[in-house]
C-alpha cells in the first residue's frame, strides 16, 4: 500500500491530514546560528567577536551570527552571517545546539553553533548590523563552579561571570549553566565560548 493510500485512526490520508493540520498548535522558536572562529595569536588563543550595532545588548560583544532564513540550511546561514558581519569566509563545523529558555530577550531562540580554527587571525571588516569586528584573546579564572571569562583586545576588555554546570562526562552543560554577571559579552555567548574553548 502506498503512502498516499494509508489512513490514520480518523480515516484521513496523509494529504487530508496535512490540509487540516494546524501549524499554530505548537509554539515555535526562532532559529539562529552563531560562529566561534578561533585563531592562534602567537601568545594564546583568540576569538573573533562583533560589537552589536543595535538592540538588544547594543554595544556589547557577540559571536558573529544571526537568524536562519526559511530558504537556507544552518550551515549556509552561518557562512552568510560570518561573511556579512566580519567579511571573512572560512570553513566551519557544527559544534552543538543551545536552547536555554530565556537566552534571548526577543523571545524563544534556538541556536546552532559552528566552530572554526585558523592558524592566525584574518583581518575582519565589520558589516551588516555589526558596528565593529575584532579578535580578542581568551582567558578565564575558575573558583569551584564559578568562572570568569575574560576577553581582551588592546584597551577593550569584556567579561562575564558564570556558574558552570557540567555533564556526566565533565563537559560544560551550556543549557544548565548560568550567566551571573554580564560585562560586555552579549546574550549567553560567554557560556558558549567557554564550552568551545574546553572542547579545543
**197 contact partners, CB below 8 Å, separation of at least 6:** 45, 138, 140
DSSP classification of residue 120: S
What pLDDT sits at residue 98? 97
Rounded-to-integer distance, Cα 95 and Cα 195, Å? 10
Rounded-to-integer distance, Cα 199 and Cα 47, Å? 14
Topology of the domain comprising 30-199:
Nucleoside Triphosphate Pyrophosphohydrolase (3.90.79)
What pLDDT sits at residue 189? 98
HEC sequence for 15-72: HHHHHHCCCCCCCCCEEEEEEEEEEECCCCEEEEEEEECCCCCCCCEECCEEECCCCC
Catalytic residue from among 5, 93, 120, 132: 132
What pLDDT sits at residue 181? 97
- First and final CA of the chain: distance in angstroms? 50
For residue range 127-181, list pLDDT tens digits in order: 877 789 999 999 999 999 999 999 999 999 999 999 999 999 999 999 999 999 9
Domain regions of the chain by residue span: 30-199
What pLDDT sits at residue 129? 76
Rounded-to-integer distance, Cα 70 and Cα 147, Å? 37
What pLDDT sits at residue 1? 59
What pLDDT sits at residue 4? 67
Asked whether the whole model's pTM tops 0.85, one would answer yes
What pLDDT sits at residue 130? 78
The residue ranges of the chain whose pLDDT is under 50 are none
Rounded-to-integer distance, Cα 148 and Cα 142, Å? 6
**53 contact partners, CB below 8 Å, separation of at least 6:** 129, 130, 131
Among residues 126, 148, 129, 160, which one has the least CA distance to residue 48?
A: 126
What pLDDT sits at residue 183? 97
Q: Is 75 a catalytic residue?
A: no
What pLDDT sits at residue 141? 97
Amino acid at each position: 500500500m502506498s503512502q498516499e493510500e494509508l489512513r490514520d485512526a480518523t480515516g484521513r490520508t496523509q494529504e487530508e491530514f496535512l490540509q487540516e493540520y494546524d501549524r499554530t498548535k505548537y509554539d515555535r522558536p526562532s532559529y539562529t546560528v552563531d560562529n566561534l572562529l578561533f585563531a592562534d595569536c602567537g601568545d594564546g588563543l583568540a576569538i573573533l567577536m562583533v560589537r552589536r550595532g543595535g538592540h538588544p545588548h547594543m554595544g556589547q560583544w557577540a559571536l558573529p551570527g544571526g537568524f536562519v532564513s526559511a530558504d537556507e540550511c544552518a550551515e549556509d546561514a552561518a557562512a552568510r552571517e560570518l561573511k556579512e558581519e566580519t567579511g571573512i569566509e572560512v570553513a566551519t563545523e557544527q559544534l552543538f545546539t543551545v536552547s536555554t529558555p530565556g537566552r534571548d530577550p526577543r523571545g524563544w531562540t534556538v541556536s546552532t553553533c559552528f566552530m572554526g580554527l585558523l592558524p592566525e587571525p584574518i583581518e575582519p571588516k565589520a558589516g551588516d548590523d555589526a558596528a565593529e569586528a575584532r579578535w580578542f584573546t581568551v582567558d578565564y579564572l575558575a573558583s569551584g563552579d564559578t568562572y570568569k571569562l575574560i576577553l581582551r583586545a588592546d584597551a577593550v576588555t569584556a567579561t562575564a561571570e558564570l556558574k558552570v554546570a557540567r555533564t556526566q562526562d565533565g563537559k560544560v552543560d551550556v543549557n544548565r549553566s548560568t550567566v551571573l554577571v554580564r560585562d560586555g559579552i552579549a546574550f549567553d555567548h560567554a557560556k558558549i565560548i567557554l564550552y568551545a574553548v574546553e572542547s579545543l
